[in-house]
């Protein structure tokens, strides 16, 4: 057959991405034979420059990874140059090498795309579904693709986020085995143009990473402040004088008073004790005298 659907996807990133994002980008290039690569874009360049890069590379779709603060990763999916485009926050990234799951699909084979039924219920999800189909589906009879279908890309909506998974189809019993990569996309905005233009949809449930980190810091600070206040209250209680409790009249109800003894006053002078003389004392004195005489002789 002839290669009619000539979709080409440009996959590249900005400078400042970490090793995990680089491996994820390489995994997507491996799984998508209709993709092309390019050098990293400088941070100072504006995003609309990507439209010119796609035109030079003869690509009509683009997957752009944008890194900020060396810790936040954003993903742009765009239909260049007319639009629309969508911006996501990428979370929970796990690459092929990191998962080390059992399973192996043929390189360059065409995937099946499986979507959650919630994609057909709301208009912004329907727009994203069409964008995912045009970007991630490998065109039929592509020169680099293989005429086999042995893995599935699943897009599931849970907790206001889009979960991406890749499963291999085992021929024996048609069971699914996850082979990776996996990541979660948190939708931020959908724009009418490519990398800009009027906003078609803005996610009300989105919370920026800066705000999330700020809320964590505030919760930790509140706990610390509460501990300090408890310590101050304890110190104030220790310094305060103890309040004397009034006497309870019910305490002496069952006490029986002891009988009072009459006080006797002694008016007569006590008799003096007789002095008892030591009868053996003269004999002791005499013995001492005899010992002295004996020594002098």
Most confidently modeled range among 44-53, 233-242, 261-270: 44-53
Asked whether the bond before 113 is cis by omega within 30 degrees of 0, the reply is: no
Q: In angstroms, rounded to a whole number, what is the distance separating the alpha carbons of residues 199 and 218?
A: 32
Q: Which pLDDT tens digit goes with each residue over 117-151?
A: 999 999 999 999 999 999 999 988 888 888 888 89
Query: What is the average pLDDT across 88-108?
Result: 83
In a domain, 278, yes or no: no
In a domain, 240, yes or no: no
Q: Domain limits at 126?
A: 9-212
In a domain, 156, yes or no: yes
Q: In the prediction, which pLDDT does 274 show?
A: 73
Q: In the prediction, which pLDDT does 241 show?
A: 66
Statement: residue 48 has pLDDT above 70: yes
In a domain, 146, yes or no: yes
Q: In angstroms, rounded to a whole number, what is the distance separating the alpha carbons of residues 217 and 291?
A: 103
Distance, first Cα to last Cα, the chain: 158
CATH code for the domain of 144: 3.40.50.10480
The number of domains in the chain is 1
In a domain, 247, yes or no: no
In a domain, 134, yes or no: yes
Q: What is the DSSP string of 153-213?
A: EEEEEETTEEEEEEEEEPTTT--EEE---EEEEEEEEEEEETTEEEEEEE-TT---HHHHH
In a domain, 224, yes or no: no
In a domain, 285, yes or no: no
pLDDT band at 158 (very low <50, low <70, confident <90, very high): very high
pLDDT band at 243 (very low <50, low <70, confident <90, very high): low
């Amino acid at each position: 057959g002839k290669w009619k659907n000539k979709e080409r996807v440009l996959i590249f990133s900005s400078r400042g991405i970490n090793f995990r994002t680089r491996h994820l980008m390489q995994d997507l290039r491996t799984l998508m034979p209709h993709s092309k690569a390019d050098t990293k874009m400088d941070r100072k360049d504006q995003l609309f420059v990507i439209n010119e890069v796609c035109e030079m590379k003869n690509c009509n779709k683009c997957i752009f990874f944008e890194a900020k603060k060396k810790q936040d990763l954003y993903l742009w999916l765009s239909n260049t140059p007319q639009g629309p485009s969508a911006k996501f926050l990428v979370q929970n990234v796990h690459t092929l090498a990191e998962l080390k799951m059992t399973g192996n699909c043929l390189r360059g084979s065409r995937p099946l795309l499986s979507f959650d039924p919630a994609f057909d219920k709301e208009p912004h999800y329907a727009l994203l579904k069409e964008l995912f189909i045009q970007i991630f589906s490998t065109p039929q009879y592509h020169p680099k693709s293989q005429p086999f279908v042995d893995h599935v890309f699943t897009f599931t909506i849970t907790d206001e986020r889009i979960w991406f998974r890749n499963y291999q189809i085992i021929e024996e019993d048609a069971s699914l085995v996850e082979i990776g990569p996996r990541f979660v996309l948190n939708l931020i905005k959908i724009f009418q143009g490519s990398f800009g233009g009027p906003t078609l949809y803005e996610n009300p449930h989105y919370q920026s990473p800066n705000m999330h980190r700020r809320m964590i810091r505030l919760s930790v600070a509140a706990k610390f402040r509460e501990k300090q206040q408890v310590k101050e209250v304890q110190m104030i209680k220790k310094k305060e004088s103890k309040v004397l409790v009034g006497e309870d009249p019910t305490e002496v109800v069952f006490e029986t008073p002891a009988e009072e003894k009459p006080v006797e006053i002694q008016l007569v002078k006590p008799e003096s004790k007789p002095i008892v003389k030591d009868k053996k004392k003269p004999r002791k004195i005499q013995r001492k005298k005899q010992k002295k005489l004996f020594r002098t002789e």
